Amino acid sequence: MKILVTGGTGFIGSHTCVKLLEADHQVVIIDNLVNSKKEIVSKIETLGKKSVEFYEGDIRDEEKLDEIFNHHAIDAVIHFAGLKAVGESVSMPLEYYDNNVNGTIQLLKVMKAHGCKKIVFSSSATVYGMNDNVPFKEEYPLSTTNPYGATKKMIEEIMQDLYVGDAQFSIALLRYFNPIGAHPSGLIGENPNGIPNNLLPYIAKVANGELEQLSVFGDDYDTVDGTGVRDYIHVQDLAEGHIAALEYVKSNVGIEAFNLGTGEGYSVLQVVKAFEKASNKTVKYQVVNRRPGDIGSCYASTQKSKNILKWEAKLDLDTMCVDAWNYVQTCKETK
């Protein structure tokens, strides 16, 4: 199949592109490079041992999308492109709604116009809001606590309505939990611009001496050690989940949501300890007040993905941390 991957040079997108090439799909990427670099394209090609078509552009640009669909017989789309920082979304809500929601609408319009009706969408566990009844199941009512989560929920609703209006569409909504790790080669991984928004890149920068210490937001939750518990999933497993979802939309019509997680929660301090073991470095941290809107525990029910997608996560927390540290060291050597 020929697959258009929006946001294909990003953290999850790049790993998925490699898996697509390994599965013998043809890959076309569109990315505006807001939070990634063009050099990732050659790394994807090196790892996947095949070439990709790359377009630098924004999914809000209908003409650019038309150009791609006119030049390529796109069979399906995997849609990653979007702004993704929860905290930033609170201070920049209009940018998030414009980029994530408006961008998706433009993409869906062009897909429909060209008769391409298979899409795998990068959603998020943030659509479960403040629900603290773990594990989170796909049938739970949805709610959000920030604009980023609201854009994901809104896009899911738009896609539900799209299917009602056109029952030829096949849509997989993938609700990620907390992707970490890196490709075992060390060539691609998570390297955010500026101060990281996510836990593991922040821990890595502390271990690497780039940041002084980690702030741990609260140690009085009802968890194993009082710190927040999350479902961390290796980005390699997550990428495999997209291949499974692609196979699903290839042979089914309709719209379905799937959790992509391990079904197991780890606390902040458990992640710190695992990273210290992987890096042989001490990660300094300071406990500070809870953040508003945070919940104690968040992890996935994985039964639906196992039953329908025939997919489940295989890699453990130690492997996630080893691969992430390997990537940090590779970046250091190539500077």
* Residue numbers annotated as active site: 148
Tokens at 214, concatenated: 């980690």
Q: What is the crossing angle of helices 103-113 and 147-165, to 10°? A: 20
3-state secondary structure of 3: strand
Residues recorded for the chain: 335
Residue 281: phi and psi, rounded to 5, are -125, 155
Q: If you write DSSP's letter for every residue of 268-310 in order, what string do you get?
A: HHHHHHHHHHHHT----EEEEPPPTT--SEE-B--HHIIIII-
Secondary structure element (H or E) that encloses residue 122, with its range: strand 118-124
In the numeric block, the tokens 């695992």 are attached to 274
**What is the token pair recorded at 221?**
């939750």
CA angle 183, 31, 125 (to 5 degrees): 65
Tokens 């922040």 sit on residue: 202
